[in-house]
Amino acid sequence: MAKIAVLVAQSYEDSELLVPVERLTDAGHDVELLGVDAGRELVGKRGKTKVHVDASVADRRPEQYDAMLIPGGQSPGHLRDDPHMINFVKGFAAIGRPIAAVCHGPQLLIEADVVRGRRMTSWPSVRAELEGAGADVVDEEVVEDGAFITSRRPDDLEAFSRALLDRLAHREGATDGQAAQSRQRQEP
């Protein structure tokens, strides 16, 4: 199964972290929460959930993961100030593996300068920023363009999660043996 990097900071949108992560783990995928500081406890924007950061993004490489998930809330706004996080996102985009961002999640993609020429969606207040960074912005439940999967809000989470799971299933079906060999070579 796939290994997923979930980029998260304080005040993430609770459901935008929990729903996709639950769908991914239920499907047998391995999820690792990456933040600025390993072990740090983070509280969701709604105060309903708490999670612990599994590892610092500074200690990981994009090649160690099969996909990336960026939940919304205020988390992407905090993460976009960290140079290690930005470099990780740039590196991940360069290798072309699936990147799923919901709500305010595309803010981190904007900061990494990887949205130009891409068709995307987001929370309404992020759309002008996406357009300014060169994205073709639409108002749709789920938008897929190349490696990118974007959604607008918590109401879109089931469709968003399904799109990511479908992408992972397709990727694994096409390269199951190659992906496992690649992961084994790249793990520290």
For residue range 134-154, list pLDDT tens digits in order. Answer: 999 999 999 999 999 999 999
Share of the chain above pLDDT 70, in %: 91
Q: How many CB atoms lie within 10 A of CB 83?
A: 8
pLDDT band of 173, cuts 50, 70, 90: low
Q: For residues 74 and 46, give the distance between their C-alpha atoms in angstroms, rounded to a whole number.
A: 11
Catalytic residues: 103
Q: How many CB atoms lie within 10 A of CB 77?
A: 16
Evaluate if residue 176 carries a pLDDT over 80.
Answer: no
Q: What is the pLDDT of residues 50-84, one digit of tens each?
A: 999 999 999 999 999 999 999 999 999 999 999 99
Measured in whole angstroms, the distance separating CA 8 from the mean position of its chain's CA atoms is 9
Domains and CATH numbers, the chain: 3-177 (3.40.50.880)
What is the average pLDDT across 8-37? 98
CB 92 within 8 A of CB 73: no
CB 3 within 8 A of CB 64: yes
Predicted local distance difference test score (pLDDT) of residue 72: 98
Share of the chain above pLDDT 90, in %: 89
CB 101 within 8 A of CB 70: yes
